[in-house]
Amino acid sequence: MIEWFRINISGDHAEELLISLAILVVGWVIRKLTGEVLIRKIEDPHHRFTINRRVGRGLAIATLILVVAIWFPNLKEIVAILSLFGAGLAIVNREVILSMVAWLHIITRQPYGVGDRIELNDVSGDVIDISLLVTTMMETREWVQGDQSTGRIMRIPNNWVFLYAVKNYTQGFEYIWNELSVTVSDKSDWNMAREIMMSLAQESSFIVEHQVKSQLKTMTQEYLVYYSTLTPFVYVATNERGIQLTLRYLCKVRNRRGSEHAIMLRILEEFAKNPSIKMVFFK
């Protein structure tokens, strides 16, 4: 092994090999130093991640171009080799090529970006990284209710963006409609119960409506989105247990469970104060 290495290192391409290794080492050192500087200088993790990712990609591209230029100074040789490599790769692994094309599509068209909450092929989570071949997500749902994080990190192939519908919960509009249902007995004062639920939801609706209207104005510049009403509303229906009251209201995507918890606590407290309202539960 040592003899083989000595023969090659002293051959015709010894200079190219040494220069290539030097470029790789310098690129790696710059990458590490940049990461350490960003950690010390930038407090915001999202801003730090974005800059660090851009620096890493820029260094990778620059390193690749320099190494290729050293080994193949003739432009025609580079084109021929890349063409052969690309054709071979396309035949051997179609999925890899599709993921690379999908990465370019994601970066340019932006069906989602880092920080967005998405659902793709029944997989949902928060996007934490987009690389050349895969998208990395912090998983939500599964055994956890309320769209909260499970703590697991998932990696999905980028080419899924061409195969399945991309459901983006946060791009341009950070609010969703949530529904909360309770059932009261048919002998209860259901109209009083409905009014209580409406008043509790309206307590915080003014601030939410103002923020939603502002985001909708921005969103309608690119999409034809129209909501006739943004205020909470309680729908009334009947079921086998009594009268079902369903509160529909707007909340932030990542606050669905928290808002539901807060409103339900207030509903239980107010219903308990009113003897004419009897809630019905599953047996």
Provide the pLDDT for residue 201: 87
Provide the pLDDT for residue 224: 67
Give the C-alpha separation, 269 to 263, whole Å. 10
Task: Establish whether domains 107-168 and 175-273 are of one fold.
Answer: no
Cβ neighbours of residue 124 under 8 Å, at least 6 residues apart? 117, 118, 139, 140, 141, 147, 167
CATH number of 107-168: 2.30.30.60
- Segments making up each domain of the chain, as ranges: 2-92, 107-168, 175-273
Residuewise pLDDT in 10s, the chain (283 residues): 444 444 444 455 677 788 888 888 888 888 788 877 777 777 777 677 777 777 777 788 788 778 777 776 666 666 666 666 666 655 556 777 888 889 999 999 899 999 899 999 999 999 999 988 999 999 998 888 878 889 999 999 999 999 999 999 988 778 888 999 999 998 999 999 999 999 988 877 767 777 777 777 777 666 666 666 788 999 999 998 999 999 999 888 888 898 899 999 999 999 999 999 999 886 5
User: What are the backbone dihedrals phi and psi of residue 116, each rounded to the nearest 5 degrees, phi first?
Assistant: -75, 150
Give the C-alpha separation, 278 to 193, whole Å. 9
User: What are the backbone dihedrals phi and psi of residue 235, each rounded to the nearest 5 degrees, phi first?
Assistant: -95, 145
CATH tag for 2-92 (out of 1.20.140, 2.30.30, 1.20.1410, 1.10.287): 1.10.287
Helix crossing, 45-71 with 14-41: angle to 10°? 170
Question: How much is the pTM?
Answer: 0.64
Provide the pLDDT for residue 30: 84
**99 C-beta neighbours (distance < 10 Å), count:** 22
Give the C-alpha separation, 30 to 211, whole Å. 42
Q: CB–CB of 105/161 below 8 Å?
A: yes
Instruction: State the alpha helices, DSSP H only, in the chain.
Output: 2-9, 14-41, 45-71, 75-92, 94-109, 160-163, 190-202, 205-219, 256-273
Q: Pick the closest to residue 67 from 21, 30, 5 (CA basis).
A: 21
Cβ neighbours of residue 118 under 8 Å, at least 6 residues apart? 112, 124, 125, 127, 137, 166, 167, 168, 169
Give the C-alpha separation, 238 to 183, whole Å. 9
Burial classification of residue 25, based on how many CB atoms lie within 10 Å of its CB (0-12 exposed, 13-18 middle, 19 or more buried) = exposed
Q: CB–CB of 212/220 below 8 Å?
A: no
What is the architecture of the domain spanning 175-273?
2-Layer Sandwich (3.30)
Handedness of CA 124, 125, 126, 128 (dihedral sign): negative
